[in-house]
């Protein structure tokens, strides 16, 4: 229970004050904890952030599983329902993505970024594979390589996130809306091709939503 409280309070402090400006001592003070109480659960601020990211991934994964279970439509609909709940580029995740980009996408944090990608892959791959196999069995997806398709879809998603993060971290000022939409359409098209799904059946993110989220992240966390 105490660990969960530390995670919740620290996450909110990171959003409000910025990761760089939030110290372990300030978190301890806000929680009225002893240093021993904090370090019993977390070795450092970095491991605390990793735990926040893990929790976010696990919550999103459970929501994605429930969305797939409740979706009565075709397998493409199930894929879209899964992605809607797990995809991180959503308005409700703007603060989290801003925090993640500012910290995990620094050059000195490649190890953290790789850990987060592996965590996401390990969580989501069985669910994506289940949808791919179902779509292939129903002849809705025409990929001849169902056993490797889920991995490739998730790797494409990781590359897409890297590309958008790079735009938001660039020196050019406000995010390039046209480039964001170009990346989004390319990602959507690539996923459809990998799945062998009918054109237009894979939605991923609504274009307007994607632009709004990136703008929110930039204005609140990147300027």
Instruction: Indicate if 83 and 38 belong to the same structural domain.
Output: no
This prediction's pTM: 0.87
Instruction: Indicate if 19 and 92 belong to the same structural domain.
Output: no
How many domains is the chain built from?
2
The dihedral built from the CA positions of residue 62, 65, 71 and 77, taken in this order, carries a sign that is positive
User: Residue 206's domain is classified under what CATH number?
Assistant: 1.10.357
Evaluate whether residue 47 is within a structural domain: no
> Which domain range does residue 168 map to?
57-222
Which pLDDT tens digit goes with each residue over 162-199?
998 888 887 766 788 899 889 999 999 999 999 999 99
Q: Is the model's pLDDT at 90 over the cut of 90? A: no
Which pLDDT tens digit goes with each residue over 22-47?
999 999 999 998 898 898 899 999 99
Residue 60 near residue 86 (C-beta atoms within 8 A)? yes
Taking the C-alpha atoms of residue 136 and residue 134, their distance in angstroms, rounded to an integer, is: 5
Best CA proximity match to 105, nearest among 51, 55, 155, 163: 163
Residue 152 near residue 194 (C-beta atoms within 8 A)? yes
Evaluate whether residue 194 is within a structural domain: yes
Of 1-15, 147-161, 206-220, the least confident: 206-220
pLDDT number for residue 87: 77
Strands of 120-160 (E only): list them.
none
Backbone angles phi, psi at 37, to 5 degrees: -65, -35
Evaluate whether residue 50 is within a structural domain: no
Instruction: Indicate if 5 and 99 belong to the same structural domain.
Output: no
Instruction: Indicate if 33 and 78 belong to the same structural domain.
Output: no
Instruction: Indicate if 107 and 174 belong to the same structural domain.
Output: yes
Which pLDDT tens digit goes with each residue over 123-137?
999 999 999 999 999
Instruction: Name the residue with tokens 């959003």.
Output: 15
The helix/strand/coil state of 90 is coil
Q: Is the model's pLDDT at 75 over the cut of 90? A: yes
């Amino acid at each position: 229970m105490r660990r969960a409280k530390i995670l919740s309070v620290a996450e909110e402090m990171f959003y409000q004050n910025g990761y760089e400006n939030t110290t372990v001592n300030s978190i301890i003070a806000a929680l009225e904890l002893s240093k021993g109480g904090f370090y019993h659960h977390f070795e450092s601020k970095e491991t605390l952030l990793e735990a926040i990211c893990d929790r976010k991934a696990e919550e999103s994964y459970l929501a994605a599983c429930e969305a797939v279970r409740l979706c009565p439509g075709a397998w493409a609909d199930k894929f879209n329902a899964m992605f809607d709940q797990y995809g991180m580029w959503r308005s409700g995740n703007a603060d989290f993505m801003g925090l993640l980009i500012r910290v995990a996408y620094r050059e000195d944090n490649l190890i953290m970024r790789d850990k987060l990608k592996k965590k996401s892959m390990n969580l989501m791959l069985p669910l994506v594979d289940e949808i791919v196999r179902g779509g292939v069995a129903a002849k809705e997806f025409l990929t001849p390589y169902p056993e490797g398709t889920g991995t490739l879809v998730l790797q494409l998603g990781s590359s897409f996130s890297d590309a958008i993060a790079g735009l938001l971290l660039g020196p050019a000022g406000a995010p390039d809306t046209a480039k964001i939409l170009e990346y989004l359409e390319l990602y959507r098209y690539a996923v459809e091709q990998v799945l062998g799904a009918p054109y237009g059946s894979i939605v991923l993110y609504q274009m307007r939503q994607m632009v709004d989220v990136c703008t929110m992240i930039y204005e609140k966390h990147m300027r």
